[in-house]
Amino acid sequence: MSNKGEAAVPLLAARDLVKAHGRTEALRGASVELSAGEILAVTGASGSGKSTLLHCLAGIVRPDAGSVTYAGERLDQLAEKRLSELRRTEFGVVFQFGQLIPELTAVDNVALPLLLAGTRRPQAQARAGEWLERFGVRGQAELRPGELSGGQAQRVALARALVTGPKVVFADEPTGALDTLASEQVMTALVHTAREAGTAVLLITHDAQVAAYADREARLADGSVTPQEVTA
């Protein structure tokens, strides 16, 4: 009986989040849950508060009110040192334009989180190479971001987000800058790798085709989340 109870506890949960940017209320009592190994798509129009919700859930910004709980810890009450630790070890973040470091090669971009966590360079680069292989961009390991196509750069960004073995990946419009074919390649790679690793994914998107890759969909409108639906 206790096993069932434990399974029912979400890995990540937001309750009644409120967040304003100046006089603009981005979130107005938003609540959402993410279970271990689940892929959840948060959809909504531009300006509905999707990115703000992701930033609160990832501990990047603090809500003005409400709570964010991850694995029993209140993220909104943690010190920045602990939040930084979680972002290095248990969270992976992917943005629309990848945000790769332009001066570093693809393999060094992927190895960076490992190096920051104290892994020795040879081991970090070897592991980074394995992840580039998983995402089909091992051949671009020595190229810099400016030499990569949009789809290649985003797969490098996904490899960087997953290389530390995070429990949760936060993907903010990961295909927003890509064409249809590149979007399909990126989403197929993300979903396959997340399933294989048992990683939970919070996917922010305005694209119904991208949302269809998720297990569930939560719609955000005017800063609030509507009932979640199975996307099956």
pLDDT of residue 159: 92
Distances from the Cα of 16 to the Cαs of 13, 129, 145, 149, 225, in angstroms? 10, 41, 39, 40, 10
The encoded tokens of residue 43 equal 């959809």
Which tens digits make up the pLDDT trace of 20-77? 988 888 999 999 999 999 999 999 888 788 989 999 999 999 999 999 999 999 999 9
CA distance 9 to 38: 13
Which tens digits make up the pLDDT trace of 108-117? 999 999 998 8
CA distance 212 to 226: 17
Helices (H) and strands (E) in the chain, counts: 8, 11
**Residue 178 or residue 7, greater confidence:** 178
In sequence order, what DSSP letters do the residues of 50-67 get, joined into one string?
Answer: HHHHHHHHTTSS--SEEE
CA distance 112 to 21: 31
In this predicted structure, the answer to whether residue 1 has a pLDDT above a threshold of 50 is: no
Q: Are strands 216-221 and 39-43 parallel, antiparallel or unpaired?
A: parallel
Give percent of the chain with pLDDT exceeding 90: 64
pLDDT of residue 2: 40
pLDDT of residue 177: 80
Which tens digits make up the pLDDT trace of 131-172? 999 888 999 999 999 999 988 998 899 899 999 999 999 999
The encoded tokens of residue 130 equal 């394995």
CA distance 203 to 145: 23
Closest by CA to 53, choosing from 79, 19, 22, is 19
Band of the pLDDT at 227, cuts 50, 70, 90? Answer: low
Mean pLDDT calculated for residue range 120-130: 96
